[in-house]
Amino acid sequence: MLNDDLIIVKLGGSVITDKKSETPKLRTAVLRRLAKEIAASGKRTIIVHGAGSFGHPLAKKYKLNDGLIEESQKKGFALTQASVRRLNLKVIDVLQNAGISAISLPPGAILKCRGGKVAEFGAGAFDGYLRAGLVPVTFGDAVIDESKGFCICSGDLLVEKLACEFEPEKVIFAADVDGIFDRNPAERYAKLLREISVGKIGKIAGEKSRHTDVTGGMKGKIESIKRIVAKGTQAVVLNGNKKGRLLSALLGKETVCTKVEP
Ligand code: IP8
């Protein structure tokens, strides 16, 4: 389903929440600005957001990504879903206040995983809302896994699945770093890669997040990007904390970022 006027935007959990916090904490001002940038672009979008401090600490505490091993995890599963949905409703609220007709599509209600990979996917729901001129918003969630009971479905995995189904113009990851670096960006002499081909990205190590990230940080993102770009869609990684970069990328204007080309 080719949608060459559609852009998938991933709002990283480390951008829209305070990921270092062990308790859920929204970064309201950043989220409001990003919402305004999306609205100002006038682009047709699907928005995916990460879970940040609303999901990762709970998912880690109850070992949800290991699957269903013991009874006590069921409580953790329910608590995690409720928490990420609270975040999602806050995101929807901010997007609507910015003038975006955002509607929520919770993964826990519309998809199933198998072995940690998305198996059954409600693409029809996204398509229906897009055709109605609405903006579907989905997010990293705790979901049913047919082989291990349950698992964590990350926002990046959803972006990958959506990109595969909808073949958008591009996908944009608003992260908490300027893009993809040639080594750990915390290291001296780390260089931002402005443009890179999918063939070369395989050699970039990607750093696993230092915080309570159960879904792999930049390392996991690079794996998803490789698969998205291999299907012919351009991927852009930029810093969502820096004003105007998301808007520029949405409009196809030059900005500080990494572009991964097919
Ligand atoms: O923040 C993780 O999604 P992500 C979802 O996109 C949970 O990696 C529930 C931790």
Q: pLDDT tens across 54-107, in order?
A: 999 999 999 999 999 999 999 999 999 999 999 999 999 999 999 999 999 999
* Atom from ligand 1 closest to the CA of residue 214: 10
Contact between 170 and 259 under an 8 Å Cβ cutoff? The reply is no
Residue 78: strand, helix, or coil: helix
Instruction: Give the model's pLDDT for residue 211.
Output: 47
pTM for the model: 0.94
**Contacting residues for 195 by C-beta, under 8 A, at least 6 apart:** 258, 259, 261
Quick one: pLDDT at residue 185?
A: 79
One-letter identity of residue 71: E
Those residues whose C-beta lies under 8 Å from the C-beta of residue 152, and which sit 6 or more positions away, are 55, 59, 64, 65, 140, 141, 142, 143, 214, 215
* 12 in contact with ligand 1, CB cutoff 6 A: no
Choose one of 20, 27, 56 to mutate for the ligand 1 pocket test, by most ligand atoms within 8 angstroms of C-beta.
56
Q: Are strands 44-49 and 141-145 parallel, antiparallel or unpaired?
A: unpaired
Q: How far away, in angstroms, is 23 Cα from ligand 1 center?
A: 15
Ligand 1 lined by 152 (C-beta under 6 Å): yes
Report CA(102)–ligand 1 centroid distance (Å). Answer: 20
pLDDT along the chain (262 residues), means of 10: 90 96 96 98 98 97 96 97 98 98 97 94 95 98 97 96 96 95 84 89 60 66 90 95 98 97 88
Does the CB atom of residue 105 touch ligand 1 within 6 A?
Answer: no
Predicted pLDDT at 208: 55
Choosing from 9, 141, 219 the residue with most ligand 1 atoms within 8 A of its CB, the one to mutate for a pocket test is 141
The rounded distance, in Å, linking the Cα atoms of 198 and 204 is: 11
Closest-CA residue to 151 (of 218, 86, 80, 222) = 80
**176 C-beta closer than 6 A to ligand 1:** no
Nearest residue (by CA) to ligand 1, atom 5, is: 140
C-alpha neighbours within 13 Å on the C-beta side of residue 162? 30
| CB of 217 sitting under 6 A from ligand 1 | no
Q: Where are the beta strands (DSSP E) in the chain?
A: 3-11, 44-49, 102-104, 111-114, 117-121, 135-139, 141-145, 149-153, 168-175, 195-197, 234-239, 258-261
pLDDT given for residue 203 in this prediction: 66
| Test site for ligand 1: of 152, 161, 171, 208, most ligand atoms within 8 A of the Cβ | 152
157 lines ligand 1 (CB under 6 A): no
Span between the terminal Cα atoms of the chain, in Å: 18
Please work out whether the CB of residue 215 comes within 6 Å of at least one atom of ligand 1. Answer: yes
Mean pLDDT score across all residues of the chain: 93
Q: How many CA atoms lie within 13 A of 78 on its CB side?
A: 4
Q: How many Å lie between the centroid of ligand 1 and the Cα of residue 52?
A: 7
Counting atoms of ligand 1 from 1, which one is nearest the CA of 52? 1
